Every structure is written in C-alpha cells, then in structure tokens.
Amino acid sequence: MTGDGAAPALEVRGLTAGYGGMAVVHDVTLSVGHGEIVGLLGRNGAGKTTTLMAIAGFLGKHEGEVRVDGTPLRGPAHKRSRGRVGILLEGRSVFPSLTTRQNLDLASVDPDVATEMFPELKPKLRLRAGVLSGGEQQMLALARTVGRHPSAILIDELSFGLAPTVCERLLSRLRSVAESTGAGILLVEQGVHYAAGVADRVLIMNEGLIRAEMPGAELIAREEEIERIYLGGLDDAA
C-alpha cells in the first residue's frame, strides 16, 4: 500500500489461476506501491511465472481481482488499463535479427527515452540486437517494457543467465526506473541475494501460495532460514 490514501500501482486480490482449469496459484493477494519494488521469491515450480502471467491477463479466466492505479483490469475499463501493465518474461525478449533501434521502434519506444535510461545502448542503436551482450539485451528488453510508461511492471528472472556484476548493474538500474517513473515493480527472482538487495519488500511463494512477506533487509538477515524452509531443493525431498 502506498499509505497515503492513493491507489497502489498494482493491487491483486484473491487471485487463483492455472492451466486448463487446474489452479496452480491460489488466493494470491498483494500490492505494489508507486516507486516500490516487490520481490517474488520461490523455488522452481512454486508458481511465480504463473502469477505474473495471470496478473497480466494471459491465462484467460481466473478468480480474483487485479487493479492498476485503482482501475480493474477486467470489465469496461479493461482495454484502457491493459497498456498500464508491462511484462518482461523469462529469456531475452528482443528480436535478435533486428537492430536495437528497430527493436525500440517496434515497441513504439523513443530511442532517446531508452538511451537516457540505459546509456549503454546509445552506441548500439544501429547494431543487431543479437550481437549485444546478454546484459545489454536485457537492458533493451527492459527499455522496450519500461519505455511505454506502464504503471505496473512485472519482471520474470531478470538475472537469469547473467554474470553477477551485470545483474547488480541491471538491478540498480531497476531501482532508478522505479524512482524516476513511479512505476510499481513486481520482480520474480530465484536469487535471494539479488532480491534482497533491490526489493523494498519480498513475498515468498511456495506451492502456489504466498507464505511469508518481509522487508528486503530482513530477508538478508534470515537468508539461511528462508532458503532452508521455502527455497532449498535438498531438505524438502519428501
């Protein structure tokens, strides 16, 4: 909650969703304030990606309510609100054979806006996206999402497959994006460390349910315990 009476950037209530009529995530309730970064953690298969896709409306009919800036994503205001949610799914969401500039053009994102956000992209505008480094491709993908000025941004495993230093840089950039645009960011991460470092708050998901919530700083202090109870793959082989 933003705490000042204004509607949060993203508000999800009682969201139950899944595939082919089978629910995978249950009764998810969360909110992300403007300029806030909320981490969503959980082991493989916990339901993190499903949660993001359901929030974005990709999974068809589901139970629950999603509001962006206080406006429901379904119903009459649905079409207007859809563009207020940006989603960056796993993997590099760029077209490798198109140039960086063409990738931005296709997303209707002004290259000046993108390079202001990520100056690293400036000398790469005329290069094919496929020859950019993994980190630069991820910046381009982020710019494509963020440059459309969504109120809520959903990001799945930004750090996947990237070197630690590159991840740190991307995540600190995410912090500036949240601050400068006022967007609320829901960030799925597997790495406790990355999430703890960038998120104001973290939610811990296990078997499709949100089991715990704590400030990012607390996650660092309780890292070992959280890893063991919710995230580890070794102690829960039952």
Ligand X SMILES: Nc1ncnc2c1ncn2[C@@H]1O[C@H](COP(=O)(O)OP(=O)(O)O)[C@@H](O)[C@H]1O
Residues composing the chain: 238
Give the residue with the Cβ less far from ligand X, 56 or 98. 56
Residues 29-68 within binding reach of ligand X (CB under 6 A): 42, 44-50
173 binds ligand X (CB under 6 A): no
Give the residue with the Cβ less far from ligand X, 60 or 123. 60
134 binds ligand X (CB under 6 A): no
206, 43 in Cβ contact below 8 A? yes
| Count of residues of this chain found to bind ligand X when the rule CB under 6 A is applied | 10
Q: What is the CA radius of gyration of the chain?
A: 17
What gap in Å lies between CA 124 and CA 115, rounded to an integer?
10
Question: What pairing do the DSSP bridges indicate for beta strands 71-72 and 63-68?
Answer: antiparallel
Q: 19 is in the binding site of which of ligand X, Mg ion, none (Cβ under 5 to 8 A by kind)?
A: ligand X
Shortest distance (Å) from residue 16 CB to ligand X = 13
Hey, what are 24's tokens?
Answer: 């995978």
Shortest distance (Å) from residue 48 CB to Mg ion = 5
What gap in Å lies between CA 35 and CA 180, rounded to an integer?
8
Give the residue with the Cβ less far from Mg ion, 46 or 219. 46
210 binds ligand X (CB under 6 A): no
192 binds ligand X (CB under 6 A): no
DSSP letter (8 states) at residue 227: I
Cα dist. 235→29, 176, 230, 238 in Å?
A: 28, 37, 10, 8
Q: Can you give the binding site for Mg ion, defined by CB under 5 A?
A: 48-49
Q: Can you give the binding site for ligand X, defined by CB under 6 A?
A: 19, 24, 42, 44-50
